[in-house]
Structures are given as C-alpha cells and as structure tokens.
Chains A and B, each alone.
Chain A
Amino acid sequence: MSLSSEEVRHVATLARLALGQDEERKYGSQLSAILDHISQLGELDTSSVPPTSHALKLSNVVREDAAVQPFDPASWSSNAPSADHGHFRVPKVLD
C-alpha cells in the first residue's frame, strides 16, 4: 500500500490541513507503512460479524426539554480569537 502525493494532498484538503512539501512526502511514506500494518485486518473473515461502534449497549437518553443557562454567554466569547458584541469575527467568506 503506497499513497501517492496526489492522494496525500486530497486527504489533507478534506481534513483542512495545508501541508508543506516536506510534510507531504513524510506523511506519504509514514501513512503508507501504517496502512500496510492495518491491512492485516484483511486476513479476518468478518462476513458474518456485526460491527461494534460502542463497547456497551447504548440507548437514546431523553430528558425534559427545560431551558437552563449553564454558562454566562460572555464567557464563551472570551476564548475567541476575535469577537465583537457577542459574535465571532472571521475573515470574509465570499470574495
């Protein structure tokens, strides 16, 4: 299993990561080695095995839809890189 630099770039774009050329090369070979190791899973006959997404049986948890204010809204924007009047500021979305 070997990832081409095109594939590495495609995955990086999906993950919203901008990689330098060095990183691209390094991740390409490292991820290929890891995927090789992972390919052992192919030895398993799983045709009649159900997938497990959680170790314990989970069921939906419901509660009364009661309004609460657990936090002061101002405390949320205090960690924002850029905030204004309780809103988050971002660079322009459309050119």
Chain B
Amino acid sequence: MSAICSLTLHELSALMDKGEVTSEQATQSYLDRIGKTDPKLNSYVTVNAQGAIEQAREADKRRSRGEKGPLLGAPVSIKDVMATKGLRTTCSSKMLENFVPPYDAFVVKRLKDAGAVILGKTNMDEFAMGSSTENSYFGPTKNPWDTSRIPGGSSGGSACAVSADLCAGSLGSDTGGSIRQPAALCGIVGMKPTYGRVSRFGLVAFASSLDQIGPMTKDVTDCAIMLNAIAGHDPMDSTCASEPAPDYTKGLDDGVKGLTIGVPDEYFVEGMDPEVEKSVRSAMSALEEAGAKLKRISLPHTKYGVPAYYVLAPAEASANLARFDGVRYGYRTPSATNLNEMYMKSRSEGFGQEVKRRIMLGTYALSSGYYDAYYIKAQKARTLIKNDFVNAFKDVSVIMAPATPTPAFGIGEKSGDPLGMYLSDIFTINLNLAGMPGVSVPCGFSSSGLPIGAQILGNFFDEALLLRAARTLEKALGITGRKPVI
C-alpha cells in the first residue's frame, strides 16, 4: 500500500471519493512508512499513531455520510511550533519537551474541521531559529535526497516529510524563509502567505511582526487546497487580515499570458551557485514561453535585509521568549534556591545554543544606549526594503528569483559559523520584512541530484496570482513526480 503515500492530496482525495481507498488505509500506510523510513531521516518529533487512526475512522464515517472535501481524511503533519490539543508541542526544545497544549492553534482547528488526519509533529530548528534543522534538541533532520545533507530550516522536518512521502502535506512557519528555503532544498512546494493572511493564534511566537504559517506540499494544487483551509480572519489574532480569502484552487490553470515577471539584478549575484542560476533562469524562460514578459528590475536595498533582519527578529524573539521562566509551563531547573536563580538556570539549561545567541543579540539591540542605533535603524532599513518591493510592483505582476544561493549544504558544514548560516537566507529574508507573499517551486536538480527551487514573490494578498504562476511553471517543467530514493 506504500504507493498511496506517493499521492498528492488531490489524488488521494479523488481515490477516497471513489471509495477505492479509505482514510484509515491511507493513514496506516503512512504510519507504516514513517516507522520504516523515518529512523533514517528524523523528520518527526512526535508521531500521533493512535490519534491519527481515530481521526481517520472519523473521517471515513463523515465520507460515508456523503461529506466530501479535499482534506477529508487526508494524513498531514504539523511543524512542532503549532499548538495541538492533547498532543505534545515541543518547538524542538528541551524547554518544551513535555508541553501538552490545552488548545489547538487556529490552523490546526481549521485542518481538523476539514477532516484532516494529524499524523504527527515535525522536527525543526529550536523555536524556529535556524536554516538547517540542526538546532533541534531531538537531533538533526536529514535531506531525503542525500542524507549527509541538511533539509534546510527551520521547517526542515515538514519539508523532509513531504518530500519523502511521510505525509500528504504539512504546515510550516516562515519568519525569514523557514518554509520556502527547506521547500526548495527538499524539492517540494512551500508558500509563505501575506503577513496576516493566516492567523498566528497558537503559533509559538518567534518574531511576531514577521512570523507567518503556510502550506508545504507535493504540488501547487495541494498548496492551494491547504491555503484554502487555513486562510481567513480569526478574531483571536489581532494582526490577522479581515479581507475575505478567495478560493485559491480557482483559476490555477489560467496561465501567465500578459503577466510581467520582474527579475531583480540583486538576486543574481556573483558567487552564487552556477547550477542554481542556470536552473532558475531556465524556469523564467519557461514562463516566458508560456506568454509572460520578463523585465529586469532593481531592488536596491536588498543587501541590507540580512543585517536588518538580524536586529529585528532577535529583538522580537528576546521579548517573546521572556515568557519561558520555568513558572507556568516548560522546563524548570532542579537546582535553585531562590526565584531569580530559578529563572536564570531554567533558561540557561532549557534553551539551546542558537536560541541563547539570538536572545543575547536581541537583548543587546534593545538595551539602553543601543536601541536607536540598532533597533530603530533596522526598522528604518525595513521601510526602505519594503518600499523597494512596493515600487517594483508598480511595474511588474510578480518577481522571480532563486529561493536559495546553493543546493542543500552538508550537515555540520555551517553549524560553527552563525553568520555564514544567516547568510544562507539572503534570498528569502527580505520578503518577510516587506510582509508580502512568496512561493518556492521545484525548478530543477543539480548535477549531483539535489533539488533546486525558484521563488515567485508577489504583492500583498496576491497569493492566487502566485499560485497561478507556480502552477504554470510546474506544468511547463514536469518534474514534480521525481522522488528521492531513501
């Protein structure tokens, strides 16, 4: 039955509609495959075996009563940064090793209402801080295309699980590229929606003005299906957009005729991997052949994205992570004689290296005497970076660029060099600062067989347009069916 696991969400739901397979069978196939394959990949932190089977039986009952829906009975996974009621949610941290949320995140509730089956919680960089999924208390996740390499991060567990057919689709979160970068490095589709398009209620906060949840899927149609389920207003998140979400599966096949695609000079820099450049440029040509027009543009403040981000994101993180004090939930040191010592030791023992590094950086940037020089300066740089995009979208419909400067790098290659690791996000970070949507789509493979991803970036709330362009690219390239051999 392992062939079931290679199906997309829409293929699986068509089979379930025809009665050729039940959700329970599909769920059991995935659980079997996880049991057999995941020890080599470590994409899951927690497998929800019993709960998943119960949810699958419930979905099968709903279907037998005549209910339909593309996610009804679909086995999916959730990055372990989103609260799942009764199912532990660790953020891949010792701090939350035993945390069992008393409620579901908005997106989890939406998926459950749609009948999705939660197979389990996927591995990630601790508190979503990282680009390689090496910063996990539960050990690194491997890239299914080459297990000596990283899957990207921080949603590396989700990207790996989708790519290796260990779930039919997944939800990730993207603060500086954490959906799009691992999606590119694992050869799947990953979308960061517009800031506010998807509620953050129940998402453990990293950098609240940048965090956004989005789908990670086997193809573009699945991405639209999952976005349909999670987009929309939620009164529990005061930053959530109130405009109604359209049906993202409509118009996917309408093509790109008449679209102008911006090609930013700053995203094709000297020193970038030539195979990545070649692959992304041929993806652009494919869209040109499909009727789009390419136009060179400039996003002049691009290089200030990484420095601005590494002030703003750690500053917000240092405030958000102040809540982990060993009092109400999370890890508490066994050896403290007074309250202050308890705070200090619990935090020092409960957080990993990268998390502490970013808390330190953020605390420094916000500290008395440095606030204007770092924090306000970075917020002003953010304005310039955002305006670059706003100006560009006066002339072009979407922007196209590589998702990453190189294919997946080796495990351990950058773990001793935090700055080098930060610079691996140069092509994804700026979009978060601008708050705009972007989707990463597989566009080729390196000569050593590693996936390469192209990124399509759009104006605020232009997710439907991005998906249409992505779908056009997917059809033109025809590489979606290629699977890693594990």
Kindly state whether residue B209 has any CB partner on chain A within 8 Å. Answer: yes
**Chain A contact surface mostly:** loop
Contact B382 A51 (CB under 8 A): yes
A residues 28-59 in Cβ contact with B at 8 Å: 30-31, 33-35, 37-42, 44, 46, 49-56, 58
* In the complex, chain B residues whose CB is within 8 Å of the CB of A95: 338
Query: Do residues B329 and A55 form an inter-chain contact, with CB atoms below 8 A?
Result: no
CB pair B195 A40 closer than 8 Å: no
Those of B330-348 within 8 Å (CB) of chain A: 330-332, 336-345, 347-348
For chain A, residues 4 to 49, give those with C-beta under 8 angstroms from any C-beta of chain B.
7-8, 11-12, 14-19, 23, 27, 30-31, 33-35, 37-42, 44, 46, 49
List, in ascending order, chain A residues with CB within 8 A of B103's CB.
70-71
Report if A78 contacts B (CB, 8 A): yes
Question: Is A41 a contact of B344 with CB atoms below 8 Å?
Answer: no
From known contacts A58-B239, A92-B339, infer whether A81 and B361 are also in contact, taking CB-CB under 8 Å.
no
B327 touches A49 (CB 8 A): no
Residue in B239, B306, B361 whose beta carbon sits within 8 Å of that of A31 in the complex: B361
Q: Report, as a range, how many residues of chain A touch the other chain.
A: 35 or more
A16–B327 Cα distance when bound, in Å, is 14
Which residues in A have their C-beta under 8 angstroms from that of B351?
17
CB A1 to nearest CB in B, in angstroms, measures: 11
Q: Does B433 contact A (CB under 8 A)?
A: yes
A58 to chain B, nearest CB (A): 6
Taking a contact as CB atoms under 8 Å apart, the answer to whether A55 and B99 are in contact is: no
- Interfacial residues of chain A within 66-83, with CB under 8 A of chain B in the complex: 70-72, 75-76, 78-82
**Whole-angstrom CA separation of A88 from B347 in the bound complex:** 18
Q: In the complex where A52-B386, A55-B433 touch, is A18 in contact with B345 (Cβ < 8 A)? A: yes
User: Which of A12, A33, A71, A92 is close to B360, meaning CB atoms less than 8 Å apart?
Assistant: A12
Residues of B close to A93: CB separation below 8 A? 338-339
Q: Given A34-B418, A46-B380, A79-B99, does the pair A88, B195 have CB atoms closer than 8 Å? A: no
**Shortest distance from the beta carbon of B347 to any chain A beta carbon, whole Å:** 5
Closest to A10 in B: B367
Contact residues of B between 371 and 397, Cβ < 8 Å to A: 374, 376-384, 386
Cβ of A85 within 8 Å of any chain B Cβ, yes or no, is no
Q: Which of A16, A30, A53 contacts B357 (CB 8 A)?
A: A30
Q: Nearest Cβ in chain A — how far from B259, in angstroms?
A: 23
Q: Are B235 and A18 in contact (CB under 8 A)?
A: no
Can you report 14 residue pairs joining A to B where beta carbons are below 8 Å apart?
A11-B364, A14-B363, A15-B318, A17-B347, A17-B356, A44-B301, A51-B382, A61-B235, A78-B100, A79-B102, A81-B326, A81-B327, A92-B338, A92-B339
The 8 closest A-B pairs by CB, nearest first: A55-B435, A51-B379, A81-B332, A75-B102, A46-B380, A79-B329, A18-B344, A15-B363
A41-B381, A90-B327 given; name 19 further pairs at CB < 8 Å: A3-B364, A14-B363, A16-B347, A27-B357, A31-B357, A41-B311, A41-B377, A52-B433, A70-B103, A71-B103, A72-B102, A79-B100, A79-B328, A79-B330, A81-B332, A90-B339, A92-B338, A92-B339, A93-B339
Query: A residues touching B (Cβ–Cβ < 8 Å)?
Result: 3, 7-8, 11-12, 14-19, 23, 27, 30-31, 33-35, 37-42, 44, 46, 49-56, 58, 61, 63, 70-72, 75-76, 78-82, 88, 90-93, 95
